[in-house]
Amino acid sequence: MTENTTSISAASGRAAGKVPLISGAAQGMGASHARVLARSGASVMIGDLHHEVGSALAAEINEELGCEAACFVPLDVTRFEHWTVSVVLAEATFGKLDVLVNNAGIYTPGNAAEASIEDWQRTIDIDLTGTFLGMKAAVPELKKNETSSIINVSSIAGLVGFKNRAAYSAAKWGVQGLTKTSAMDFGPDGIRVNSIHPRSVETPLTAGLKRGFGQVPAGRAAQVEEISSLVLYLASDESRFVSGASIAIDGGETAGNNLRQDS
């Protein structure tokens, strides 16, 4: 596609006119969401700890689309003041904020007996409290629009038990609870709140993890773009009657007990 046709399709795309703020968007799934939303017409705020990588991604998107479609903002999701600056910057740069994607997250291993208290606290701080702080900072701005969308990234570890992931699972279940409660609280303000629950996606977070796909009917990991398609749907007005949903995007893994050949 040429620069001009890319710009034209972005201007009339499924997320045309939307202004999303995506946390943890310098790499992995967040970076893919930023690319896909921008290509679909959104003006995207890329928030992350990693200044250089995040700024380079914003520059790459702007170069590809031939317009100012992306802006990087330094964001540590555990710092409320970073969130408030991010929201102000979205308003100052693109005129509003109407989509929040709480994507930043870390994973720590260990069951409740073995996980360190430090790992527990860090995981809860980033994966759960970070999501709460993002919503706390963004909701006043989101309320100003006729319709807004919050997309909280959980995991299948927030839908079912997940062996040896005590802190991660607790945090991701917490994200689901916060999502459903907030859908009740902010629905009257025109804000939809949904959680998405991926299973193994090929990203730097999962690089090096030993994983089997025997329990996954699809028999494979997801590509980041497959998750971004769902984020695009939830960011756009196509999902205007979808709120409080916990959407599994897991190749069918949590549909039931996928008995192995030998069982």
Ligand X SMILES: NC(=O)c1ccc[n+]([C@@H]2O[C@H](COP(=O)([O-])OP(=O)(O)OC[C@H]3O[C@@H](n4cnc5c(N)ncnc54)[C@H](O)[C@@H]3O)[C@@H](O)[C@H]2O)c1
List of residues 6+ apart from 152 with CB closer than 8 A: 102, 131, 175, 176, 178, 179, 193, 194, 195, 196
- Footprint on residues 93-122 left by ligand X (CB under 6 A): 103-107
Q: Applying CB under 6 A, does 26 fall inside the site for ligand X?
A: yes
Residue 120 C-beta-side C-alpha neighbours within 13 Å:
11
For ligand X, which stretch binds (CB under 6 A), given 7-15, 76-84, 113-121, 176-184?
Answer: 76-84
Q: Where are the alpha helices (DSSP H) in 12-124?
A: 28-39, 51-65, 80-94, 117-123
- Is residue 107 part of the annotated active site? The answer reads no
**Among 6, 23, 258, 248, which residue's Cα sits nearest to residue 127?**
23
Each residue 186-225 as x (binds ligand X by CB under 6 A) or -, in order, gives: ------------x-xx-xxxx-------------------
- Cα–Cα–Cα angle for 126, 128, 131, rounded to 5 degrees: 85
Q: Residues 34, 37, 77, 159: which binds ligand X (CB under 6 A)?
A: 77
179 binding ligand X? (CB under 6 A): no
Contacts with ligand X, 130-169, as mask; x by CB under 6 A: -----------------------x-x--------------
Distance linking the first and last C-alpha atoms of the chain: 50
Q: State which residue, 10 or 248, has the beta carbon closest to ligand X.
A: 248
Out of 120, 168, 173, 186, pick the active-site residue: 168
Site pattern 54..73 for ligand X (x: CB under 6 A): --------------------
Residue type for 37, please?
Answer: L
Residues in the chain: 263
Task: Return the active site residues.
Answer: 168
